[in-house]
Copies of this chain bind each other. A is one copy, B any other.
Amino acid sequence: MKKWILSIIGIITLFTLRAESGYELWLRYAPITNPQLKTSYAQTINSVILPGKSPSSTIIRDELSRAMNGMLGKTPQFMNEPQNAGSLIIGTPTTSPLISTMNINTELQQAGQEGFVLISKKINGRQLTILAANHESPLLYGMFHLLRLLQTHQPITHLQIISTPRTKLRMLNHWDNMDRSVERGYAGFSIWNWHTLPGYIDQRYIDYARACASIGINGTVLNNVNANATILTKEYLIKVKALADAFRPYGIKVFLTARFSAPIEIGKLKTADPLDPQVQQWWKDKIKEVYSFIPDFGGFLIKANSEGQPGPQDYKRSHADGANMFADALAPHKGVVIWRAFVYSHENPDDRHKQAYTDFVPLDGKFRNNVLVQVKNGAIDFMPREPFHPLFGAMPKTPLMMEFQVTQEYLGQATNLAYLAPLFKEVLDGDTYYKGKGSYVSTIIDGSADQHNLTGMAGVANIGTDINWCGHNFAQANWYALGRLAWDHTLSSEQIAREWLGMTFTNDPNFLKPAQDLMMRSRDVVVQFSNPLGLHHIMGTGHHYGPAPWVSNLSRPEWNPVYYHKADSTGIGFNRTSTGSNALSQYYPGARKLWEDLNNCEEKNLLWFHHVPWNHIMKSGRTLWNELCFQYYTGAEQVKDMQKSWEQLAAFVDKERFNDVKQRLQLQYEEAIWWRNACLLYFQTFSKQPIPSSYEQPDKTLDYYKSLRFPFAPGN
């Protein structure tokens, strides 16, 4: 027996050595070593009663086997009847005769079309766990919920859970190009291998669907919003169909982006005018073709008249004209149009901050009812910190869908540890005052403010071909958080972090607490060393890697960092008050109040809304210049502190992932120093004030920082 054990330990060691590439994400199903917990779980789910042979049932059966095997070292028995020991009964009232006898009609009604019921019952002395829903997809969500309880070592004997998603479309937007490059991708290349589709279904597609389903994501836009019409040709629709077929059993619908000028490019028409009957017919035919391949195709995500993309305004038509053309063609198939509000024009001299509002508010009420307008969380562009978009609360007749960026374009890309749930929550918890105090952005997004049924939240994906999917192991948490918040935006960032950490690393409290702290402060740290006090969009040109606040020579004024920070001899910041661009006027007075008075403005957004004199006294008592120095220096120091925290967690993490994070934290520290020095040296040319001598002075010149070039930076 001793040999056995030795050999076993060998295998376990080997397992640890090899398996922790990060590929498994939060679905590692690590062995549960606490004997009491293990016994309790094993007894409670000794058998599973799950009728049916639908693809979803098969998936549930496979996932439960894999998970229980991993966590408990045994596969539950799949049976037709509950045993004496605990049973898990899964099904819908129509697929499972047992479920229909469980007397849970009220609960099922509450769960609705997309929710699930997960409750414990004792019947005839038998411990039953019931997982029920009105349709098959929510059963998957319920199963993953139950597994999450096990994975995070929660009790499962007295469950009383009815869970329904707070948004209807919970989506990832992939900015993946057809050549497999990924715009703003920092984790390798596109996981969609168009060349080997449709014949080759990569295991990765399946594991992607598993991961998405496990957090409730039910839609995916496969291709970049800067679209290529080729995706709509028959050759490629056949490939898209193969992915849709693979994702369907996981409850995930496929969406595509539509290039507005496709009728010209692949349809050989002379125009793409949305009011042209030929154009309308072309799209009707094309959409019919799409549905012939993919009967449950989700619809189109469209970026039009934005950053050079074609759109209805090319024909003097409105965004509503454009969106409605698609909406009419999609409606017979129950497809939706997701129309992006991310528009600004170099011909419009007005503050870029204001232009989406100006363009879209007049269109409220003019969109068909299968149109959602997808609004980025802020009015500029996914900045490290950004006030919520003024469009939230300003288009009551139109369902507004949230667009978050999961990929860290402006938050350190793949090298920085930045947990984004606090960023997402900060926006969702923002009070628009649209219907008075308490009109949170979340109430616009979940439809409750205006009784919209069609609702949604999307995240620009951070997924690529890197073995660990996301480049940085901690970036996986942002994919996870997006899904969890799309399901339930009332979850706290802390809880999401805890769940993710427990499943991804370990539930050991000596790990959980400090690791959670590390995550919780991480996004603020990035803000602090790169864009503190409301600074924004001062990143490197094109690739957005590192600082370049000095850039002023790009063809469009609003592409230049100097447009945003407006540093001069008197001060720094963008005056968006009534004496400036008055972008503030687009917010409701209650919301505006937080920001409009220079002396009362929350300091984290100060330079977003005000041009502030260098010697302005901050709440700290420091002058603005000194505060800026303080922020940059403290931010960089914080990264060093994060490194120390991580070092102390070495014992809890496998060597491979530990080293991954350790190396990236070191890169982050070097980048923080770079941000700090480059920005302060540059802003100093305006403030004409010294960096306080108590700080270590920059060891390189501004010219050095200006000379840096990154011709092969990723994601560009």
Contacts and interface: CB of A to CB of B under 8 A. Distances in A.
Nearest to A18: B19
A14 B1 contact: no
Nearest to A5: B4
B7 A31 contact: yes
A10 interface: yes
A13 interface: yes
A650 interface: no
Interface in A396-419: 414-415
Contacts of A713: 195
A291 interface: no
Nearest to A12: B11
B188 A9 contact: no
Contact of A667 (B4, B19, B200): B200
Contacts of A51: none
Given A11-B15, A196-B415, A21 B666 contact: no
A539 to B, nearest CB: 15
Contact of A18 (B24, B663, B711): B24
Interface stretch (A65-73, A90-98, A121-129, A167-175): A65-73
Contacts of A230: 711-712
Question: Residue among A72, A188, A664 with the most chain B CB within 10 A?
Answer: A188
Question: Residue among A3, A7, A201 with the most chain B CB within 10 A?
Answer: A7
A314 interface: no
A7 B74 contact: yes
Contacts of A8: 4, 8, 11, 73
A712 B10 contact: no
Given A9-B73, A199-B666, A712-B178, A14 B415 contact: no
Nearest to A667: B199
A414 to B, nearest CB: 7
Contact of A31 (B11, B17, B21, B714): B11
Contacts of A14: 15, 29, 66, 69-70
Interface string A220-231: 000000000010
A265 to B, nearest CB: 12
Contacts of A23: 21, 467
Interface in A174-218: 178-180, 188-189, 194-196, 199-201, 203-204
Contacts of A18: 19, 24
Given A11-B31, A15-B19, A189-B189, A196 B414 contact: yes
A39 B465 CA distance: 42
A670 interface: yes
A69 B13 contact: yes
A712 B231 CA distance: 11
Question: Residue among A195, A230, A664 with the most chain B CB within 10 A?
Answer: A195
Interface in A686-715: 710-714
A656 interface: yes
A618 B447 CA distance: 77
A432 interface: no
A9 B194 CA distance: 38
A648 to B, nearest CB: 21
Interface in A335-367: none
Interface string A620-664: 000000000000000000000000000000000000100110011
Contacts of A7: 31, 72-74
A663 B201 contact: yes
A473 to B, nearest CB: 12
Contacts of A554: none
B6 A200 contact: no
A233 to B, nearest CB: 10
A75 interface: yes
Nearest to A465: B465
Given A6-B74, A19-B19, A465 B196 contact: no
A414 B660 CA distance: 30
Given A6-B74, A713-B195, A204 B467 contact: yes
B199 A72 contact: no
A29 to B, nearest CB: 7
A465 B8 CA distance: 32
B188 A664 contact: no
Contacts of A670: 199
Nearest to A194: B712
Contact of A10 (B24, B75, B196, B656): B75
Contacts of A6: 73-74
Contact of A465 (B3, B189, B201): B189
A19 B13 CA distance: 13
Question: Residue among A17, A69, A179 with the most chain B CB within 10 A?
Answer: A69
Contact of A196 (B69, B201, B204, B667): B667
A494 to B, nearest CB: 29
Given A1-B1, A15-B19, A189-B180, A10 B73 contact: yes
Interface in A70-106: 70, 72-75
Nearest to A669: B199
Contact of A203 (B5, B21, B180, B414): B21
A498 to B, nearest CB: 24
29 contacts: A3-B73, A4-B8, A8-B11, A8-B73, A10-B72, A10-B74, A10-B75, A11-B15, A11-B69, A14-B15, A14-B29, A14-B70, A15-B15, A17-B66, A21-B23, A178-B712, A179-B712, A180-B712, A188-B188, A188-B465, A189-B465, A196-B414, A199-B666, A203-B656, A203-B659, A203-B660, A204-B467, A465-B465, A467-B467
Given A1-B1, A10-B31, A199-B670, 11 more contacts: A3-B73, A6-B73, A7-B31, A8-B8, A10-B70, A11-B73, A23-B467, A188-B189, A194-B712, A196-B414, A203-B656
